[in-house]
């Protein structure tokens, strides 16, 4: 079964960021950095992103290119999907100097599309600040798919039209506002459906205080609580989940067929065994 990366040498990692690049900081401090993978370059779309200083301090070359300026110089309408594709075609050329094996999004606030996703098929990872195993639909308000195999979850989506409930930029707030008991950071493979790709790893659970589960609380206070919770998740959830995902990919232990992920050499209670590899549950590999 073809692996995302064969693990015969340290993987070249390129990080995309729009802000502080906290997950990149975790990578640089990881004991496996320089051994199984190396951050060889970075890209940011924000001129004053804090992550640029992190790159400079660590000696990591990085590319800055603002999307608005790119569109303006070429007379492109940023609202048109083709404009976005032309930008990522340009960016593929800029990234070629780094020879990336894996691209990691670390607080990159833009939807990534083809041709970049096709060029680095199954090799673009993102960390999302919510539990993407919670599904919802017209006839199913809440479905916890964490322990399901991937085929069962896919069948639910097909038959009942369920989709991931807590996606997008306000996912932490939405989870708090919905009365969820807990949430997790989720690392997934990026596809053209935002926050819709196969899950690789999830962080430990972060409890949501029950006192926030009431519509009587002022929504500004809910937002403030959600912001604080997301800050905790960046420190204790995003980094560990990302490092485990990189460990799996960089050591040649992760495969993808269609939208299903398979793992080698891990002790998991799973449904299938293909060529010595086990199918990950819908939740991916969960950290405790």
pLDDT for res 250: 98
pLDDT in tens, 125-168: 999 999 999 999 988 899 999 999 999 999 999 999 999 999 99
Q: Which of 129, 99, 111 is nearest to 45 (CA)?
A: 111
CB burial class (10 A; 0-12, 13-18, 19+) of residue 135? Answer: buried
pLDDT in tens, 199-248: 999 999 999 987 766 666 788 888 999 999 999 999 999 999 999 999 99
Taken in order of first residue, the domains within the chain and their CATH numbers are 11-286 (3.40.50.170)
**DSSP secondary structure, 19-71, as one string:** S--HHHHHHHHSTTBTTTEEEEEEEES-TT-THHHHHHHHT--EEE--HHHHH
DSSP 141: S
Cβ contact 58:29 at 8 Å: no
Rounded to the nearest angstrom, the gap between the alpha carbon of residue 276 and the centroid of all alpha carbons in its chain is 26
pLDDT for res 271: 45
Q: What is the pTM of this model?
A: 0.93
Lowest mean pLDDT among 30-34, 66-70, 217-221, 264-268: 264-268
CA distances, 288 to each of 184, 185, 262 (Å): 11, 12, 20
Rounded to the nearest angstrom, the gap between the alpha carbon of residue 74 and the centroid of all alpha carbons in its chain is 30
Mean of the per-residue pLDDT values of the chain:
92
pLDDT for res 257: 85
How many other CB atoms are found less than 10 A from the CB of residue 153? Answer: 21
Q: How far apart are CA 189 and CA 41, in angstroms?
A: 20
pLDDT in tens, 38-88: 999 999 999 999 999 999 999 999 999 999 999 999 999 999 999 999 999
Take residue 96 and report the two structure tokens written for it.
Answer: 């070629």
pLDDT for res 210: 78
pLDDT for res 277: 62
């Amino acid at each position: 079964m073809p692996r995302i990366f064969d693990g015969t040498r340290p993987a070249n990692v390129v990080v995309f960021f729009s802000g502080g690049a906290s997950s990149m900081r975790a990578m640089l401090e990881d004991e496996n950095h320089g051994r199984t993978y190396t951050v060889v370059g970075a890209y940011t779309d924000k001129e004053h992103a804090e992550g640029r200083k992190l790159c400079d301090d660590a000696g990591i070359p990085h590319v800055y290119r603002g999307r608005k300026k790119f569109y303006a110089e070429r007379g492109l309408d940023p609202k048109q999907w083709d404009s976005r594709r032309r930008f990522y075609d340009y960016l593929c050329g800029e990234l070629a100097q780094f020879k990336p094996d894996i691209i990691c999004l670390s607080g990159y606030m833009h939807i990534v599309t083809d041709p970049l996703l096709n060029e680095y098929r199954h090799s673009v990872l993102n960390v999302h600040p919510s539990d993407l195993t919670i599904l919802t639909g017209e006839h199913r308000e809440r479905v916890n798919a964490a322990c399901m195999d991937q085929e069962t979850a896919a069948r639910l989506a097909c038959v009942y039209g369920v989709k991931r409930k807590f996606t997008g930029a306000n996912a932490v707030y939405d989870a708090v506002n919905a009365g969820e008991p807990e949430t997790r950071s989720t690392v997934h493979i990026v596809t053209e459906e935002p926050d819709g790709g196969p899950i690789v790893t999830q962080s430990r659970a972060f409890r949501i205080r029950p006192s926030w589960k009431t519509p009587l609380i002022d929504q500004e206070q809910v937002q403030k609580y959600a912001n604080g919770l997301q800050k905790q998740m960046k420190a204790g959830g995003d980094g560990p989940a990302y490092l485990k995902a990189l460990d799996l990919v960089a050591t040649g232990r992760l495969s993808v067929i269609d939208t299903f992920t398979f793992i080698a050499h891990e002790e998991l209670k799973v449904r299938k065994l293909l060529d010595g590899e086990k199918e990950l549950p819908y939740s991916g590999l969960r950290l405790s």
